[in-house]
Structure 1
Amino acid sequence: MKFRCQENPNFQDDRTLEIWKICERLRSSLDPSEIIDLRNSFQGFDRCSSGFIQGHEFARILNCCLRKPLCCDVICRLAEYFSTPDFGGVAYGQFLDIITKEDESCDAKQEKYSLSSAEHRRLALVLMSIAKTLRFREQILRPYFEEYERIAGNVGCVTYAYFKRVLYFLGVTLGRSEWELLAKRFMVHHCKLDYEAFVEEIDQLLRYLDTQGPVKREEDEEVPLKVIIAELPKVDRSEVGIVNLEDVFEKTTTCHPCVSQAREDRSFHILMDHIQKHVWKNRIRIREFFDQYDLLCCGWLSRTQFIRSMDAMGLSGLYKFPMTDCEIKLVCDHYKDPRNANRIQWVCFTDDVDRVFAEKDVAKGVCQPCDGEHVSDDVPVEKKVCAHKERDLAAEVIQLIRTLVSSRRILIEPVFRDFDPHCNGHITRGQVGEALAMVGISITEEQKYALDKRFSDDFGFNYTRFLKEVDPSPCVPSAYETIQRKAAAHNRKVEATSHHHETDIVRILAKIKGQVIRKKVRIVDFMRGFDSLNHARITRDQFERGLATAKIELTSTEVRTVADMFRTPLQDTVDYRKFCDTIAEIDYQCNLEKAPLLVPLQHFTSEDGPHNHLNFEERTIVSRTLQKLARYADVVSNLSSPLKDFDRNQLGIVNKNQLIRALAMRDLHTAISSREFEVLCKCFGVNIGCRREINYRALLAALDYLYANRHNHPF
């Protein structure tokens, strides 16, 4: 039902125009769910399904079911306009049609034709495949849909499930995306498919195929596919890589790899020279990239594995050394196996590339670096001249901008950062001019083009490199580097004040042996972890780290002295196994099978240090003093009893006063002089904290030893 004001906008009827405005207002305010509820409410009062209800029922529904109820005057006008005096009721069906029919028709029309150009092409391929399948099997679509129409009463429409079931029964199976295309093209009323339009298009395609001739059933191309999938053919873009866009547009305003003209493929010899230069410059061990795929060490790989190894090595379009597909194919064809084209002899390839370091099978090979002089340059002379001009112009622009930034004290970096919210380091070419204009720097289009040529890549304008040249930040050393320099200076100062006894290897080894006995550690267990190849040698840093892990307390000079003593002859490493065998003499003596008459000696630890170092005169005095006191050893004088009384904590140490008192209690203080007593205290003295004590247990052990061997020492 349509109003006259809809057909003719100049129609002058106040009543019809007013009712039309009310219906338009209701159409814009009602949701689809509210329209469904309104229809169900009307049908609930229409028991006979006549499409008419009483006026008071119509007014009650509009007053109760709407979210924004209408006033009584508007409801009375609607009821009066849609009332039919013949049947004595209100035609609610016409009222609902006016509110909903136009929207449904518009939505269906939009849904029906809202396809892109690519989707139209794919849909055409799907329909052609369906038509070929039906023509090959000599089947007709229309009877299957007409049967459903007679039962359901739908005019030209079927449900989505029935539509899919009919095509499956006819042997037409589509992919998921193809089903979505058909539904998008032929769907009406949001839930049904217009089979009339579908059958009409299929009939047109069948008539077209009939004009092409009969079906050739003996050919495999005419046999329909099991699953119909629409794949668009690739568009032939022969102009890409041939036509230079800079010659067409004079200046490039976009950032894309296809904008630049593709270079010509290099020959095999030039390509190998460039690969050798890349390997030499980056110090790449290319054999390691191929060994992981050649598990059987047969010397060949498949073509895909060879290309994958080259990609991992950096020989591809994504890394520093770009290679085209034709160049990669050229290398593969040159090193392919003559008996099998799918195999690549990677050993020959690595041998040819490694010649840049040394010749193979030469005992004393001379390093032959690839300096790049013999590598040919494929750039024409005109391109070189243009590149030099652009480079010089870009250098002038950079110098100009650097001068303006330094003289005006411009903070140029925050402006570029504002255009890069994701911190990618790149912005568009148009944003470069905007950023420079915001800081008050104006450049010409030619200068901007030169900057684009120098700082632009596949991602855009690299403003981070641009800022490093325009506004270089001062080199401020980090706090970590400062601390490292101070520590190195302090270590050099400490090393300069080292004592002479820190270079005595005998004293150092005795000190290490004493710590090993007291702490009961095996140094070889801490050194072996650094020797993963079991070569019995480690670096100096690893040697020092192993001693520190074993809690061996040595100064840096002492560690250096030991490392120099056990240094390997050919390399600057330490033979830790020889060092550990030397320290292990405290428990056993190595290579006794070669000297069967040699008697091993037991090692006794000493507390020797700078505080108790004795010269020849002092050693003579101590020897004479011990010979005097040995006549009155603990067995004779019981000297240990008073000393133990003074040692309440049983530490084995006493001070000088307690020692002289213990000697006085046994009348031994008169046997030695004061000079002899001082030298004796120095010989058996130990440092405990900040004071000097005497190890009386060592003194008693020495007296007992001399007393037991008194017959061998009559003096």
Structure 2
Amino acid sequence: MAADVALNIENNIRTTAETKRIRPCEFFQDYDRLRSGYVTETQFFRVLWENLGIKLTSQQQQILAAKYRPKKDGEVNYKLFCDVISQPFDPNNLQMDPDTQKIETTEFLGTMRSLMPLSSEKEARIEELLRSLQRFYKYRGLNLRTACEDFDRHHIGVIQESQFYRSFPHPPEVSEEDMALLVEKYRDPDRPGLLNYLNLHHDMVALGEQMARQDVILPQKTEITDYLIPTRGADVTLQQIFDRIRVAVYKNRVRTIEFFKDYDKLRSGIITENQFICGLSLAIGKEAQLSRQEIQKITEFYRTPDGRVQYKEFSDMMENAFNVPDLEKKPTQEVVRPPVGALARNLSQLSEEKEARVRYVLEHLIDEVRKRQLMMYQYFKDYDRSKGYSRIITPTQFGRILHFLSLNVAPEDFKLLCEKFRDEATGDINYPAFVQTVDKEFVNYTQAKPGDTDEQLRTKPGKEEKPIDISDVSIEDLMARIRHHVLVNRYRVREYFQDFDPLRSGMITKSQFQRGLSDLGLSALGHHNLTPAQFEALYQVYKSTQMPDKVLWTQFMDDIESVFTQLDLEKKPTQRVPPLEIFRVPKPGTVDWSFASEEHRAFFNQIMDRLRARVNQRRVLVKPVFQDFDKHNNGHVTRSQFRQGLTMLELHCSEDEMQALEARFCNDVGFDYLGFLQELQPVEPPKMMYYERLEELRKTNNKIKFERVDMAKDLESILIKIKTKVFKERIRILEWLRDYDKLRSGRIKKSNFRRALDLCKFELAEAELAILEDHYQSAGFPDYVDYTKLVDDIESIFTTKDLEKAPLLEPPVFHPPEPEAVKTLDPEKEAILQKSIGRIAEQVRKNRIQLFPLFEDYDRVNNGTVSRSQFRRVLNELDLACLVPTEQEWVCLWEKFDVKIGGKDDVSYIAFCDMIYDLARFEWRKP
């Protein structure tokens, strides 16, 4: 007995583990750090409960623990348990076949088999239906489980019955009775309203395997199915057949020639009789409801003496249904129009008894729709997702929508409704006709009566429009409100009307004018809703006298945009434009405070002073409280919300005080809490700092430019400076100068000359540039400079021009002058410096000291200089600072080897080291 219970527990755990795709061994290992294969009994059942969601009773826990508890007390062998659950067979048992050891889990995920037993007739019908569905799914590559899994959020294999109706893919021949039979068969008995779609999927898979095995043993016989609807009446004339085909071709937009020309490889316009019958049946046979006899009549009409059929003539006639070919060449040709109602989906005619019953049902639905004010068309249209909206839905969808709208209809009455509104071509439901029948306010299309002619339809009188009373509308207030709306939102009125006036005539229709105002925000969805009386008043003001059905929108635009500027202002230079503030109007319903009495004003000021003192004393943030009530962010709240906000802020007011505040700040929108806050806690407007910033920038730019100290005074010094820069940085000055000489004339303008030298970053002063321009000025062109001469002089530092003509000439080598070598000190300072330099050189010679390495450590950019403090620190580290005892000697050292780097005085340690090495009689750079 205990073994059977343990086996059932293991089967349930195995099913749950495979359902959730869980490996139990991984969770047990978290408690088994030494990987011994054992955990405590508490840890074992904790894993089953927390990770697998299995809660066992105390008796089941004892049985399971007794089975997997070894000799060790208090521990469970989870390794053996996981092998039983996860492994399908014992790999160590080689004496038995693995197939006999394999344990199959239950068929349904997490549950037992839940099929409802039915009668033998229903079981036979279900088996036949499942075979049909299996062939349908196999042919189209469908999968029932994939289609239903979107509704199965928890992946337990069950969905709601309504979800099954929505997601179940089925061929058209599956009726509602078949769907109900499937629901009855696979309904979950333990959970009402749910259906086991996974059991249905498994049955279909098993049936498919069985059918596949039967096909291998006994191949099925090929059955020919006739999908054409047989003729209902007796003999029908050929003209009536053509008319029916022409209407079907026109309604379904069928190109008949596409179904025949594949058989006509030579494009001769003739095909065989069998090919014509196949093409006609495929093209329009179902839509036109053609029978075999009618197709045969058409075939005999277009048959040639040799037995073939002229399909080209038939296609030409169908392609030009209700039209004449080359109509643009025949302006006087009369086009034959189809009869009234021929192109519409007419309702089916039932017997008198059925018509009476349908009429009774529709009257009940009409009354229900009118009482509940249902908008039905949107619900039907959601199921019509074909291209261009086919305006038909299936009977199942039709029934579901009626059930969703709580329009309960008996099953027999529902069948009558489907029969009444069925489309003869497809068998689906014409839902626009049904909605128009039960909803008197919905108009989709006008159904013609049998006695109406074309002239009667064109001359039917419309609804008489009642005149609108505009006597209570003030045009001045309305225009002021529209100007305020345009001014606040900065709208350009032209953009909302000019698209309706492509000829720029300045006139549009009344409906277009209303649409433009709606886009401008003057509608129920905008900021200001224009009533019909207000719109009619605007229309009467701007109505064209020449064409009463048009509106002068340009005149309306000029009147509204006068808030920004005035027309022809360039012709009136002395006219003053009024400020924009005069066009701002308060909200409708705002009280004019200028007419308030002195007592009311004094009472109001007393209230505001008390509230202001209270707020300032407690340092309360008032605005966030009211913003929480302002969901539309329009600066207004209701009166009750304002009182509630004051109570939350502990700003208590009496009833008289509240009425005084409401009289001051209330309007038609609500309570203007922003205006109240402006009175309660006034905020100073920000100061205009634009002009002050302009003055600061002007003063900054007008700083006095100091004269440069290191500026060269003669041409030779300037050239040496340029040559040194070019020699060190390898600048090709020609590349920058000849960009301004497009004709390669050898001269450029002086302004371009200065611009090119600035791009080379020579940092020449104005006086130095003037000296260069005067020296290299072009002869005969006072505004030009011969830049080629300057380039030759500068390039001489690298080579000599025309060197190929003097092969024996040795070009001189240019040595850039060292800045420190040219500096000379006063005789007194020079004598002090020589003593210090001599002591340092003698010490370096005796101890063979290397000076460069320590200086280079501080020279991060490798420019041969260090700061004065770094220079002193290096000498101190070399024990040479003691040889310069006085501060005066340090100043002389710094002045002798001083170099300007970025406006800062640095020391050239290279010149210092070279001088020390020369005095110490070291070889050059080899101490």
TM range, smaller chain:
0.3 to 0.5
**Which of the pair is proportionally richer in helix?**
1
TM-score computed with the length of structure 1 as normaliser: 0.35
